[in-house]
């Protein structure tokens, strides 16, 4: 018997949302870029001695999140807002995305994590500093972490951190079995 958690990964195009999910679920990384329309991955994992079925929604990246449909607002237990530390625009659009999300959720507080991906890049390529990421996290009242889907660094922590937040807000429930892969 597992507890079910549904997460959604939101952010601009090409920041590495699918790559972060792919790294977490399958521990693999692709250098090529294939824009996603909508993907849903399933993984089971154990956190703090309990087994969870995690459904991870990976919708298409957008530059404008003025419309957030029910597919990404209903039944989602936690959000990962991703930007690329190599792409300042993807960082600057997140306050807008966060406030549109709050409106779409009618003010309901859903655990959310701010994630700077592509932390493997060289300092000369970096367009957003760690301090700026933390500062935005403070402004949005959400935690900030960095990761690299390419190297894998920090990726598991992204999901475990968010799932622990989710677990603090919702009770466990019993769900059916039927998922793809498992992480121990």
Ligand X SMILES: Nc1nc2c(ncn2[C@@H]2O[C@H](COP(=O)(O)OP(=O)(O)OP(=O)(O)O)[C@@H](O)[C@H]2O)c(=O)[nH]1
**Contact in structure between 81 and 11 (CB atoms under 8 Å):** yes
- Tell me if 14 contacts ligand X by CB under 6 A: yes
Give the burial string for 121-131 (b: 16+ CB within 10 Å, else e): eeeeebbbeee
Distance between CA atoms of 4 and 55, rounded to whole angstroms?
Answer: 8
CB of 10 to ligand X, least distance (A): 9
Which span (71-79, 92-100, 127-135, 142-150) binds ligand X, by CB under 6 A? 142-150
Residue of this chain nearest to ligand X (CB atom):
61
Mask: binding to ligand X, 44-83, rule CB under 6 A, as x and -?
----------------xx----------------------
Q: For the CB of residue 126, give the shortest distance to ligand X in the complex, in Å.
A: 11
First to last CA, the chain: 16
Among 4, 6, 13, 88, binds ligand X (CB under 6 A): 13
Q: What phi and psi, each to the nearest 5 degrees, are found at residue 152? A: 90, -10
CA distance 161 to 158: 5
For ligand X, give the closer residue by CB, 16 or 111.
Answer: 16
Beta strands in the chain (DSSP E): 3-11, 38-47, 50-59, 78-84, 112-117, 143-146, 181-183
Question: Which of residues 1, 28, 33, 99 is near ligand X by CB under 6 A?
Answer: 33
Single out the segment in contact with ligand X by CB under 6 A; choices: 7-15, 94-102, 138-146, 171-179.
Answer: 7-15
| Site residues, ligand X (CB under 6 A) | 13-19, 30-33, 35-36, 60-61, 117-118, 120-121, 148-150
């Amino acid at each position: 018997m597992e507890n079910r958690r549904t997460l959604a990964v939101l952010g601009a195009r090409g920041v590495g949302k699918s790559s972060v999910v792919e790294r977490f679920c399958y521990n693999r990384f692709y250098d090529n870029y294939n824009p996603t329309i909508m993907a849903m991955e399933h993984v089971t994992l154990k956190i703090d001695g309990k087994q969870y079925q995690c459904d991870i929604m990976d919708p298409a990246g957008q530059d404008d999140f003025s419309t957030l449909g029910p597919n990404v607002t209903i039944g989602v237990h936690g959000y990962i807002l991703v930007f690329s530390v190599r792409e300042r625009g993807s960082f600057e659009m997140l306050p807008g995305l966060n406030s549109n999300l709050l409106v779409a959720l009618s003010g309901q507080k859903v655990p959310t994590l701010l994630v700077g991906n592509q932390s493997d890049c060289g300092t000369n390529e970096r367009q957003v500093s760690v301090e700026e990421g933390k500062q935005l996290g403070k402004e949005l009242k959400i935690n900030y972490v960095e990761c690299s889907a390419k190297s894998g660094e920090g990726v598991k922590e992204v999901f475990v951190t968010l799932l622990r937040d989710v677990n603090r807000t919702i009770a466990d429930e019993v769900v059916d079995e039927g998922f793809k892969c498992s992480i121990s």
